[in-house]
Amino acid sequence: MKLQGIDEYELFHRYRYDNNTTICIFSDSVVYYDGYLRVVLKRDSGKYSMEEINAGRVEELPDLSKCGEDELFQFSTIMAIQPLLTIQRVMNEIHGEYELS
């Protein structure tokens, strides 16, 4: 994910990336969206959820960036963790740049 630009609006900031994905930061959440997948980080609780747009279901998602090697291996047997791990690391970095309001 290579950052292409940041759009600053009154209610949120949008980070645009080279692969047509965005990460938006709101007062209560950080949201990744690529047209097929939405990953949401609730800023007050630090909890993640994931929604596959075409499937229409929302699932809780562990913070993979905080998992050890053994846990990552276990999760890799049920989901493709590498893209999610990259997404969560970027989301955590952006979240850390903003104070909760």
Residue 58 maps to a domain: yes
User: What is the domain range of residue 57?
Assistant: 3-96
Residue 48 maps to a domain: yes
Tokens describing residue 77 = 């047997």
Alpha-carbon distance values, 16 to 38, 42, 43, 82, 89 (Å): 15, 20, 20, 20, 16
Residue 19 maps to a domain: yes
How many domains does the chain fold into?
1
| DSSP tag of 9 | -
Residue 86 maps to a domain: yes
Q: What is the pLDDT of residues 79-92, one digit of tens each?
A: 888 899 999 999 99
- CA–CA dist 6, 9 (Å, integer): 10
pTM, to two decimals: 0.87
Contact at 8 Å (CB) between 88 and 48? yes
Calculate mean pLDDT across residues 68-73: 90
Residue 101 maps to a domain: no
Q: What is the pLDDT of residues 20-57, one digit of tens each?
A: 999 999 999 999 999 999 999 999 999 999 998 888 88
